Chain A
């Protein structure tokens, strides 16, 4: 027998993601999904961001890594709550891992939910977690040719942070190439060079967060399955 289904393959994940998004909206918290290669500076940026938002804005963090609880330990001191999700062999977070973590979090006490995804530029783009915005980090040492190599994730971005921009000169990084490549993919994405070391771009980043905290609550981030 032949059964015609016409079903989105990732539908099960999307259904849970939608529930997560509803929970974020009900709690009045803004959820951001941080996606980048390993080592591009996600945890370091969050270490700087979370205290800078205090005392007005409180943050909750969920960190996905294959192994260890190191990142959650790094972020715990200044966050309201910090939970590590070990994904084992999986190279990305699933919506149901977020849903499970939410059971032990009190979302209403927070203003921002920062989700640090597993270091990977491909798979996290496939799996909606229920976030309101996607922040993609590209660090200067990775090279100025990476947008064209991983176009799909940049197409889905709400903001692209060029991290470790203190190394821009030394590594002869061509920002205009990145700008042009992003412009071909998505006219609506903002590009911001930032350094957790020198502090460059930090003020603008915090401003962007505050602005989105007001306008993007409940918003559905771009992803490809709906």
Chain B
């Protein structure tokens, strides 16, 4: 359900980029979503379809690349792959981490003409 909120913010950025670069239409949008943000690709696509309707990005292709998470333990600096509901360091058995990857939602590129 948070996909709609994300799609709305995404749309604002697409319009911004299209205007700055004098695009008349947008053909493709590439998005990087961290696994920990729980963006469901099918739901994201639906939301994207809804927000782009009747805009310069109407019919644009949405590419979603999911990024695997990576955490680093703040106690022992060991790096490991956390689960959505489990951030325990395999060594210290404590959930005190820096997230190195997997927490971002990033607009990578816009293709248009």
A residues whose Cβ falls under 8 Å from a Cβ of B: 1-13, 90-92, 122-123, 126-127, 148, 151-152, 155, 181, 183-188, 224-225
Task: Please indicate the chain A residues that have their CB under 8 angstroms from the CB of B5 in the complex.
Answer: 90-92, 123, 126-127
Asked if A2 contacts B111 (CB within 8 A), the reply is: yes
B109 beta carbon closer than 8 Å to chain A: yes
Asked if B105 contacts A225 (CB within 8 A), the reply is: yes
A interface SS class: mixed
Task: Please indicate the chain A residues that have their CB under 8 angstroms from the CB of B103 in the complex.
Answer: 224
Asked if A9 contacts B9 (CB within 8 A), the reply is: yes
B94 beta carbon closer than 8 Å to chain A: yes
Asked if B95 contacts A184 (CB within 8 A), the reply is: yes
Identity of the chain A residue whose Cβ is nearest the Cβ of B84 in the assembled complex: A151
Q: Which of B90-113 contact A (CB under 8 A)?
A: 94-96, 99, 103-113
Identity of the chain A residue whose Cβ is nearest the Cβ of B20 in the assembled complex: A3
Asked if B23 contacts A4 (CB within 8 A), the reply is: no
- Residues of B in contact, count (CB < 8 Å): 36
* Residue interface mask B42-76, A partner, CB < 8 A = 1: 00000000000000000000000000000000000
Known A3-B21, A6-B106, A9-B13; judge A184-B86 contact (CB<8 A): yes
CB distance from A190 to the nearest CB of B (A): 14
CB distance from B18 to the nearest CB of A (A): 9
Known A91-B5, A152-B36, A184-B86; judge A1-B113 contact (CB<8 A): yes
Identity of the chain B residue whose Cβ is nearest the Cβ of A89 in the assembled complex: B4
Identity of the chain A residue whose Cβ is nearest the Cβ of B28 in the assembled complex: A2
Identity of the chain A residue whose Cβ is nearest the Cβ of B99 in the assembled complex: A224
Known A2-B109, A6-B107, A148-B85; judge A126-B23 contact (CB<8 A): no
Contacts A6-B106, A123-B1 given; 15 further ones with Cβ under 8 A?
A: A1-B23, A5-B17, A9-B13, A9-B107, A10-B9, A12-B9, A152-B36, A152-B37, A152-B84, A185-B85, A185-B86, A185-B95, A186-B96, A188-B96, A224-B36
Identity of the chain A residue whose Cβ is nearest the Cβ of B37 in the assembled complex: A224
Asked if B112 contacts A1 (CB within 8 A), the reply is: yes
Known A5-B109, A155-B87, A225-B105; judge A123-B2 contact (CB<8 A): yes
Residue A2 contacts which of B104, B105, B107, B110 (CB distance < 8 angstroms)? B110
